Amino acid sequence: MTIEFAVIGGTGLTQIEGLEVIHREVVHTPYGEPSGPITHGMIEGKRIAFLARHGYTHNIPPHKINYRANLWALNSLGIKKVVAVAAVGGITSEMEPTRLVIPDQLVDYTYGRAHTYFEEGLTHVTHIDFSWPYCADMRNALLAAAKCAGLDVVPHGTYAVTQGPRLETAAEIARLERDGCDIVGMTAMPEASLARELDLCYASCSVVANWAAGKSDEEITMDDIQQNLLVGMANARALLRGLLC
Ligand code: HPA
């Protein structure tokens, strides 16, 4: 049975409710170990694969994730489509906590991450087209899934990818807003560009966990983030089931 798609789960999504687990597969890659074994399972009668980006016990911070191994492992299993679920902060007014966003653009502010497969043993230099970082087919599938599941999602947005693990200063968020960014998270890069290098059809379901720094009078607390993610990730799971409707 072919695997319909893989889900890379972020903070608040270390497992998928309703997934009948078939087995867990340890995959070794030329780039080292992925964040954990790949979980193979059935949902709504279809095969999917799941990987917890930060590890199944949520112990790998964004800048320490082996993005190359994660994407390589999924690709080596013949998976062609990937949905990346990620917690983000909301910058612009539409992006309020608990909302789901299907971003269509990103700006990369990360540094020092192993970010390409095209650097050693090359016969020629390769530059991928990354004008539109998210796969249109997968984005459309997510938008159709939202409709099918009766979920309200923001159908566009620019994701600012910061280094973390600290949250941003208010001045940094003001700068990201001037740069045209709507949401901010720490994991979309190099994940999205590595997926493109492997020719995987990759899109993001971003879940707004908090107002970004300086966007509300309240302090940003882990408790509030977790509360918002409980609601947001339940919607993200419903969206994933919608992909199979
Ligand atoms: N900034 C960066 N990453 C995040 C945030 C944020 O405010 N919230 C959740 N992930």
Mean pLDDT for all residues in the chain: 95
In the block, residue with structure tokens 């997968």 = 138
Q: How far apart are CA 79 and CA 121, in angstroms?
A: 25
Distance 146 CA to ligand 1 centre (A): 23
CB-ligand 1 contact for 186 (6 Å cutoff): yes
Distance 101 CA to ligand 1 centre (A): 14
Specify the pairing of strand 100-101 against strand 201-211. antiparallel
Preceding omega of 133 cis (within 30 degrees of 0): no
Distance 212 CA to ligand 1 centre (A): 7
Per residue in 147-189, pLDDT (tens digit) is 999 999 999 999 999 999 999 999 999 999 999 999 999 999 9
Report in angstroms the alpha-carbon separations of 64 from 34, 131, 214. 11, 26, 27
Residue 2 contacts residue 47 (beta carbons within 8 Å): yes
Q: How far apart are CA 19 and CA 17, in angstroms?
A: 5
* Closest CA to ligand 1's atom 9: 88
Amino acid (1-letter code) at residue 101: V
Q: What is the pTM of this model?
A: 0.96
CB hemisphere CA count around 92 (13 angstroms): 17
CB-ligand 1 contact for 162 (6 Å cutoff): yes
CB-ligand 1 contact for 210 (6 Å cutoff): yes
The parent domain of residue 191 ranges over 3-242
* Closest CA to ligand 1's atom 7: 89
Amino acid (1-letter code) at residue 138: M
Please give the tally of structural domains in the chain: 1
Per residue in 201-242, pLDDT (tens digit) is 999 999 999 999 999 999 999 999 999 999 999 999 999 999
Distance 176 CA to ligand 1 centre (A): 13
The closest alpha carbon to 176, from 212, 210, 222, 225, belongs to 212
Q: What CATH number is attached to the domain comprising 229?
A: 3.40.50.1580
Distance 89 CA to ligand 1 centre (A): 4
